[in-house]
Amino acid sequence: MNTHIPLTLIGISHKTAPVEIREKIALSKEEQVTVHKRLLDAFHLKGILTLSTCNRTELYLSGDLSENELQHIREWLNDFKQTSYFTQEQHTYVFQGKEAVRHFFDVAAGLDSQVIGEPQITNQVKEAYHLAHQGQVTDALLNKLFSYGLQAQKHVRSETFLSDGAVSVSFAGVELAKKIFTSLADKTVLLIGAGETAELAALHFLDKGVGRILIANRTFSKASELANRFKGEAYELDELKRILTETDIVISATSATEYVLTREMVEPQLKHRPYDPLFLIDLAIPRDLDPELNELDNVYLYNLDDLNEVVQLNLERRKQEIPRADKIIQEHVREFVNWLSTHASSQIIHRLKRYFDDLRKAELKRLNSRLPEEGMEQIEYLTESLVNKILHQHIQLLKKNIRNPELYEQYLEFLHELYEIDK
């Protein structure tokens, strides 16, 4: 069914532009609010939704737009961001109608993400919608687009493995640790280093419910800062030997030029924990952890290459889920289009009813002073019956032509010219 969908998408993403361009066209929340108001006022749109993340900036515009109006909006965006990228075809994509709907559903489900299936985009879509909805700049079309898009995302997530498995090395390390220990609730993790990688690892471990976090760093103040953020404990690097006896998992990510942990440092500490496994993850280049550690009993050492193999395997598994996810998305797009067809017809029928009822009441008012009350009641009943019969014919023709877009548009044009009913 080729139902007319008055929706236009203008976007720039990681697929069409490098980060140097994406950062220049990104919209802050304050800028999004400004864009909402100014575009609605200037171009008489029915609704607008903006989605701006590190990987994409997209505008979903509800309402019929001519090519000329669309070009003016792109030029306006250029002026607003002091750039020319919104009119550069190699960087900007424009989708309309069903294509725009499909793209939104793909984005919400993580199918269009740089890392397929990543869950963060769903929250970003929710935040974008709530910003627009709270600003009262969404209409029925955009409200339903968001609702159906979220349903599609939930269906994809529950029916496929598109979001399963670690696809970052820090998360892969956490997943491996969970497989070895089953539960992390009573385990202690030691992070060596206090940079971005250590921070990500801390976030992942907290999410998995680890019992205790220790952070050791060459600069104690940085270790202390990170420990405060994640309710952990900070240590100097020269305390490593002592705290190893309390540790189940070690993740090391420093910029050191020599091994931070050697066999000679670790082996004596194992006597204090003869039956407890020690899980070591080396995320540094050059490596932080002595490869000979892997020769020790109950010690499991993984480096970046090991984790990258896990990540690549998980990414490949996610790619294999795309056809299943695609079928689910297609079904939800069909459901959205069906809703829109019904909604559009009901709106037209409502306008027709109001038009005929206003006409009927105006004529009855003229007769009211000239006829007795009993006669007016009969005429009112007669005119209501007549209007309903006329409406019935129009309603039947609308339903008959709704699956033929060309005939449907022609009939809407006929109604518009005959009764001044908006399409």
User: Exposed, middle or buried, 136 (CB in 10 Å: 0-12/13-18/19+)?
Assistant: exposed
For residue 218, the SS3 value is: coil
Torsional class of 371: left (φ above 0), alpha (ψ -120 to 50), beta (otherwise):
beta
CA torsion sign for 33, 37, 38, 43 is: positive
Count each helix (H run) and each strand (E run) in the chain, helices first: 15, 10
Q: Any catalytic annotation for residue 238?
A: no
For residue 23, the SS3 value is: helix
**Which of 206, 125, 114, 205 lies closest to 167 in space, CA to CA?**
114
Q: How far is 201 from 176, CA to CA, in rounded Å? A: 12
**Which of 37, 44, 40, 48 lies closest to 10 in space, CA to CA?**
48
Q: How far is 421 from 423, CA to CA, in rounded Å? A: 6
Task: Decide if 341 contacts 409 (C-beta within 8 A).
Answer: no
Query: How far is residue 145 from each of residues 46, 126, 128, 216, 299, measured CA to CA in Å?
Result: 14, 12, 13, 48, 52
Q: How far is 348 from 79, CA to CA, in rounded Å? A: 38
- Please report, to the nearest 10 degrees, the dihedral formed by the alpha carbons of residues 399, 420, 44, 148 taken in order: -10
**Which of 79, 101, 94, 80 lies closest to 16 in space, CA to CA?**
94
Find how far residue 22's CA is from the centre of its chain. 17
Task: Decide if 62 contacts 7 (C-beta within 8 A).
Answer: yes
Q: Out of 1, 19, 42, 54, which one is annotated catalytic?
A: 54
Q: What angle do CA 335, 339, 344 make, to 5 degrees?
A: 150
Residues with catalytic roles? 54
